[in-house]
Amino acid sequence: MVGPEGGGTAAAAGTAGNVASSFGQIGTGALAGFVAQAIRLFARAVTAVRAIWAGSEPELRQRVYFANHTSNGDFVLIWTVLPDRLRAMTRPVAASDYWLKTTLRAFIGREVFNAVLIDRNPETRTEDPVEQMVRALDDGSSLILFPEGRRNMDEAPLLPFKSGLYHLARTRPRVDLVPVWIANLNRVMPKGEVVPVPLICTVTFGAALHIDPGEAKEAFLARASAALLALAPNGRPA
């Protein structure tokens, strides 16, 4: 976990210094834990979210969970349904431009979710996202990844995958890649709406897959994409 100083938070904005130091006094960890609990309760109250383990089990194994992406709350749902010990070792991969925008987001992104924050813009970034993810894996963490790269606003159930998942699989071929289909969250809160409607969401975990030694990028990404799409309930994606 991140250290108790909340240093990253303080760096995020000028006024953050005071906030962060008072956080520091009562323990950033404790506050983060409380906020995490509150977020999980809220997610469960609104979506009654339920995990369906269809092909893999909630075991203590290092994994890359890769999921469809239709809402900002996507990884919150995965993170909510994971059992405590799995959640503690799992870090979402998220966009730094979104999560470092305000002090509050920076606190939630770093301290609560312990996210691996990557810069989506190749022009400005100082670190390669795949290297960042590999480092997190080497630390023993599992990852939550959205290989579409951005939220899907189209009618198509899945956008073409970006190559990140492939490079990750090539670099650490022994890590389980678990497809995760999140159903209904985009109906709970469509983009641009402010009031969520309390529809029931499910998070379906499929069988783990691995890259084959000679497998080409396109073939692997197509296979991963098909494995994910196959988890959509009743052939009713979205």
Q: Which residues bind another protein (CB under 8 A)?
A: 48, 50, 184, 187, 190, 193, 195, 197-200, 234-236
Contacts with 110 (C-beta within 8 Å, 6 or more apart), sequence order:
2, 8, 9, 99, 117
Q: Cβ distance 201 to 188 under 8 Å? A: yes
Closest CA to 61 of 143, 124, 150: 143
Closer residue to another protein (CB): 48 or 88: 48
Closer residue to another protein (CB): 1 or 45: 45
Q: How far is the CB of 70 from another protein (least distance, A)?
A: 11
Q: How far is the CB of 94 from another protein (least distance, A)?
A: 24
Q: How far is the CB of 44 from another protein (least distance, A)?
A: 13
Helical ranges in 96-188 per DSSP H: 96-99, 103-107, 129-138, 164-171, 185-188
Closer residue to another protein (CB): 32 or 180: 180
Q: Cβ distance 168 to 138 under 8 Å? A: no
Q: Could you tell me the end-to-end alpha-carbon distance of the chain, in angstroms, rounded to an integer? A: 34
Closer residue to another protein (CB): 151 or 187: 187
Q: How far is the CB of 42 from another protein (least distance, A)?
A: 16
